[in-house]
């Protein structure tokens, strides 16, 4: 990811003491309370579900102007819905065939990587609590950034539950050109370790890519060959591939589009790290995989896992609290409407997909489309749950009262008022210049209201939380858009460094930003500096114009603003940097990221790395000139006052560049 371009895009377009051991919920009474009470039986047949799901898809396609989509509804007995919508190629007028046409699935690909790890565990080639380092080359190194004398090893359990402690890596995640081999990718993009392993869930694409590389090393074959030999072929999945693009199936690939200015505009093929997001597949083949997951690892074509291994894979492995959804063995997991949901969602910059298993009901759903947004398939899942597994509101209310009586406060929980503030995702960038993206990537703002509730703003939704017991809060506003679970509960804990940490469903937590590390401070530094640069240049220009008409030297003592080469150059370069970001950081209309994000380093990236350094040096010179001017009083009082203001914010800008790793050190 090119940090400045990406940051410009997002900015311009506006877009808790805890346990780290394995927690298994099973079918216990506590587990059931995570969802709402539902009727004991499904209120409809499979045929009715198929018709309902088909109508929901048609509405989604219409409402979001989705160019192409496909859906599968599977039960233990049969495939009950397999349908396509829209066109795979608008120019040729080819309609989507769910048995033929391949969609990109984003992070749904991770399910297959974790399946391969479970196969290797089943074969006895590794164990869940093995350290991963003996399975890697010695030169794959992730520096440890958290305070420790002897860091604990990362295990496969940590990879499967996104608790390895890696920072996020955006550079090279999406490309319009082929990705390097896995062996090269895991070396080039190795992230820092910013949390102790096993303590903080922080979703990691790199962790999955690393697992895929271990699959290569242990199997002696490429990741793509392994998937074809050990998963696709046994299950009869002839139209799935991790090859990018799949040469033998390339004619079957769906073209991605997005509705722009009254027409569908075509996008490009995105190359992603294979194990983390490189899968292309039809809904028909994904239905075969759903069937095998619902039928103890077997479908009509063969077996991919033994029943006991698959049952283990579906079982919860990590969560902060029994109320919260967490991670199974690679799958995400939560309970809603009385149903356990085992799932994984996935997104690229233009495709969105959802893979859902409802094991108690014996149902599986797969939805994928291009040109929409990530919330579409999640909303459809919740609509189906509400319709066919309706909530008994009276029973749910009674259950909530009983639950509250049994809950224990979170040890050392912060006071409710102290929770107010800005929180950033644990999926954060710390060691590179991508750190600036933390300011605009899914932060949560909490405020404490007069009625004693917490108000939260998340992904464009406004949520409200009431306290059940100290440290545990229930969401009173229904949310269906959160991609990792229902966001039904929020709990306040502490991060390893002592900061307040909010935990909820799924492999993300939110850690409170220090007063100097939030968006308010960033804006308080950057925007005034930008404004002062504009006003300084305008004032200098005005002074020159006045001097010209009055025929007086520009640097007369009576000038309200005397020119200075350092200040002028500083202001010009700052405005030039912002202008470049606006011009070259504009988002690709289809892929919604700057085009530079999909390419290797360019002149633009080099310039964006160079300018902050030069601007910082000039800021030091401006401050030096200002100090001398006060000492020697060789400028007017107005000029010295203005220069002082400019110096303060130019030094603040140096801090901004340093804090967000833009100075190269």
For the segment 303-341, what is each residue's pLDDT rounded down to a tens digit?
A: 999 999 999 999 999 999 999 999 999 999 999 999 999
Cβ count near 554 (within 10 Å): 15
Distance of CA 616 to the CA centre of its chain: 31
pLDDT interval class at 5 (50, 70, 90): very low
d(CA 51, CA 374): 23
DSSP helix/strand/coil, 464: strand
d(CA 559, CA 361): 80
State the average pLDDT over residues 344-355: 96
Per-residue CA distances from 336 to 22, 139, 384, 487 (Å) = 22, 44, 11, 10
Residue 2, pLDDT score = 52
With 50 as the cut, is the pLDDT of residue 116 above it?
yes
Q: What is the pLDDT of residues 95-110, one digit of tens each?
A: 999 999 999 999 999 9
Average pLDDT of the chain, as a whole number: 88
Residue 594, pLDDT score = 79
d(CA 500, CA 511): 6
Domain boundaries along the sequence of the chain? 33-388, 407-512, 521-659
Residue 264, pLDDT score = 96
d(CA 321, CA 333): 13
d(CA 87, CA 101): 10
Q: Is residue 358 packed enough to be buried (19+ CB in 10 Å), middle (13-18) or exposed (0-12)?
A: buried
Question: Left if phi > 0, otherwise alpha if psi is -120 to 50, otherwise beta: which for 423?
Answer: beta
Residue 479, pLDDT score = 65
With 90 as the cut, is the pLDDT of residue 513 above it?
yes
Residue 545, pLDDT score = 86
Residue 12, pLDDT score = 34
With 90 as the cut, is the pLDDT of residue 217 above it?
yes
* Helix, strand, coil share of the chain (percent; to 5): 40, 20, 40
Residue 552, pLDDT score = 59
C-beta of residue 232 within 8 angstroms of C-beta of residue 279? no
State the average pLDDT over residues 152-178: 94
C-beta of residue 435 within 8 angstroms of C-beta of residue 192? no
State the average pLDDT over residues 637-646: 92
d(CA 456, CA 477): 10
C-beta of residue 194 within 8 angstroms of C-beta of residue 143? no
State the average pLDDT over residues 586-594: 87
Instruction: Give residue for tokens 């030297």.
Output: 553
d(CA 296, CA 410): 38
Residue 101, pLDDT score = 98
C-alpha dihedral, 321 to 323 to 329 to 330, nearest 10°: -100
d(CA 475, CA 482): 13
| Tokens linked to 309 | 């291994």
Residue 112, pLDDT score = 98
Per-residue CA distances from 138 to 181, 187, 206, 365, 408 (Å) = 17, 10, 17, 41, 45
Instruction: Give residue for tokens 């391949």.
Output: 102
CATH of 33-388, one of 3.20.20.70, 1.20.120.140, 3.40.50.970, 3.40.710.10: 3.40.710.10
Q: What does the chain come to in residues?
A: 665
DSSP helix/strand/coil, 393: helix
With 80 as the cut, is the pLDDT of residue 31 above it?
no
pLDDT interval class at 551 (50, 70, 90): low
| Tokens linked to 451 | 């009625």
Please provide the DSSP assignment of 341-358 as one string: EEEEEEE-SSEEEEEEEE
Per-residue CA distances from 229 to 220, 240, 297 (Å) = 12, 12, 16
Instruction: Give residue for tokens 């396609």.
Output: 61
Half-sphere exposure of residue 395: CA atoms within 13 angstroms, side-chain side: 13
With 80 as the cut, is the pLDDT of residue 560 above it?
no
Residue 509, pLDDT score = 93
């Amino acid at each position: 990811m090119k940090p400045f371009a990406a940051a410009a895009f997002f900015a311009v377009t506006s877009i808790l003491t805890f346990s780290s051991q394995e927690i298994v919920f099973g079918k216990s009474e506590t587990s059931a309370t995570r969802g709402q009470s539902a009727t004991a039986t499904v209120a409809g047949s499979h045929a009715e579900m198929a018709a309902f799901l088909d109508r929901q898809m048609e509405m989604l396609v219409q409402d979001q102007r989705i160019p192409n989509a496909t859906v599968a509804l599977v039960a233990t007995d049969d495939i009950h819905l397999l349908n396509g919508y829209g066109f795979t190629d608008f120019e040729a007028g080819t309609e989507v065939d769910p048995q033929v046409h391949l969609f990109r699935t984003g992070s749904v690909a991770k399910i297959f990587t974790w399946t391969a790890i479970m196969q290797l565990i089943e074969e006895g080639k590794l164990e869940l609590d093995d350290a991963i380092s003996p399975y890697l080359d010695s030169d794959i190194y992730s520096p440890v950034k958290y305070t420790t004398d002897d860091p604990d090893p990362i295990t496969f359990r940590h990879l499967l539950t996104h608790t390895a402690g890696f920072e996020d890596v955006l550079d090279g995640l999406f490309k319009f050109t082929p990705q390097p081999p896995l062996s090269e990718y895991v070396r080039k993009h190795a992230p820092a370790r910013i949390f102790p392993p096993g303590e903080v869930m922080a979703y990691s694409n790199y962790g999955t890519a690393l697992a895929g590389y271990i699959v290569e090393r242990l199997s002696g074959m490429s990741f793509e060959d392994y998937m074809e030999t050990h998963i696709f072929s046994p299950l009869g999945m002839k139209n799935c591939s991790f090859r990018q693009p799949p040469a033998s199936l390339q004619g079957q690939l769906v073209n991605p589009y997005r509705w722009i200015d009254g027409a569908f505009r075509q996008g490009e093929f995105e190359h992603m790290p294979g194990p983390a997001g490189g899968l292309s597949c039809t809904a028909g083949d994904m239905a075969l995989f759903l069937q095998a997951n619902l039928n103890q690892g077997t479908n009509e074509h063969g077996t991919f896992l033994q029943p006991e291994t698959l049952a283990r894979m579906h079982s919860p492995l990590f969560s902060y609290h029994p109320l919260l959804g967490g991670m199974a063995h690679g799958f995400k997991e939560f309970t809603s409407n009385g149903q356990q949901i085992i799932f994984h969602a996935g997104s690229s910059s233009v495709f969105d997909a959802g893979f859902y298993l409802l094991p108690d009901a014996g149902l599986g759903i797969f939805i994928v489309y291009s040109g929409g947004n990530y919330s579409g398939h999640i909303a459809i899942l919740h609509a189906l749950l509400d319709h066919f597994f309706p909530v008994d509101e009276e029973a749910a209310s009674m259950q909530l009262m009983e639950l509250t009586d049994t809950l224990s406060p979170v040890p050392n929980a912060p006071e409710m008022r102290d929770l107010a503030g800005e929180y950033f995702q644990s999926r954060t960038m710390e060691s590179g210049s991508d750190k600036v993206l933390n300011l605009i990537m899914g932060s949560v703002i909490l405020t404490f209201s007069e009625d004693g509730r917490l108000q939260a703003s998340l992904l464009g939704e406004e949520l409200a939380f009431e306290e059940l017991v100290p440290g545990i809060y229930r969401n009173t506003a229904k949310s269906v858009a959160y991609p990792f679970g229902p966001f039904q509960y929020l709990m306040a804990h502490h991060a390893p460094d002592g900061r307040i940490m909010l935990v909820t469903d799924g492999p993300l937590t939110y850690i409170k930003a220090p007063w100097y590390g939030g968006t308010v401070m960033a804006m308080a530094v950057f925007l005034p500096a930008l404004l002062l640069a504009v006003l300084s240049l305008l004032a200098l220009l005005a002074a020159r114009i006045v001097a010209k008409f009055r025929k007086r030297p520009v640097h007369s003592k009576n000038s309200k603003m005397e020119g200075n080469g350092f200040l002028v150059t500083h202001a010009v370069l700052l405005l030039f940097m912002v202008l470049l970001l606006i011009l070259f950081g504009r988002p690709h209309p289809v892929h919604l990221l700057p085009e530079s994000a999909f390419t290797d380093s360019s002149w633009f990236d080099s310039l964006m790395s160079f300018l902050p350094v030069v601007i910082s040096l000039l800021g030091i010179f401006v401050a030096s000139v200002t100090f001398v001017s006060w000492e020697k009083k060789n400028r007017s009082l107005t000029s010295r006052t203005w220069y002082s203001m400019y110096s303060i914010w130019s030094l603040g800008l140096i801090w901004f560049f340093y804090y967000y790793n833009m100075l190269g050190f």
